Amino acid sequence: MDHMTGSELYTYVLKIFKRTDKSAELYEAITDTVKNMNLRHKFSDMKVEAYTTGGITSDTDYRVELPEDFGHLIGDVRLINGTDSKTLDKLNKPEFDEKYPYLSNTDTEPSEPDHYCLWNNQILIGPIPDETTYGYEISYTRKIVTAIVSETTEVPFTDDYREAVRAGSLARLYEGLEDFEKAKYWHVRHDRDMAIIIANDINNESAVINQEYNGV
């Protein structure tokens, strides 16, 4: 099944919700639902295999801007140098600052990078790169950055999980109407669907584990 458009999903939700005087609220509920689903799990169809940037353009640069739709990092940053590459070790911000306290100093000696940390929508690289031609490759999940409207051509997750999107949307709509009994029902439906979807997605990406018996 193809992804549903915004208007198609609107009609699909209305089959149960019925009310046509709440179109703005309905689209807001859809948007909030798909954003929440995307936060709860790293869905396969939201993963970007790699993103490479040569964002460091001067001898004193050590910050690489993350893409606008960056959500969750998968794995580590890789440094690309022509046909060679290596994985950089991740540090948190305090560890990075302790190891590289003077990166902004123009006298800091550049070298081939070994570490990185994520901070303020940027990748901080240490030491300061000794080449501006390095590439920095990441794999990540995309976040949803635009609201779902009638003109939306593809609503995330609606190719396979349209019932889950509808259930979450209905739960939010009934909460807004203070019909908490119906809201609770649709929250339970949505959570049940999410549990099944997440388990299936994890199973699809898991490697087969071969158990040895008697040393064989």
CA distance 195 to 179: 25
Domains of the chain by residue range: 6-43+157-200, 45-142
Residue with tokens 């690289």: 125
Residue 34's CB is within 10 A of a number of other CB atoms, namely: 23
Token pair recorded at residue 150: 């009638």
Q: Please give the order of strands across the beta sheet that includes 122-126.
A: 63-65, 122-126, 115-119, 89-90
Closest to 162 (Cα-Cα) out of 29, 30, 23: 30
pLDDT along the chain (216 residues), means of 10: 94 96 97 94 81 72 88 90 90 94 81 94 92 88 92 94 97 97 98 93 65 53
Closest to 70 (Cα-Cα) out of 95, 38, 28, 22: 38
Please give the model's pTM, rounded to 2 decimal places: 0.76
Report in angstroms the alpha-carbon separations of 45 from 1, 5, 12, 59, 64. 14, 16, 22, 38, 25
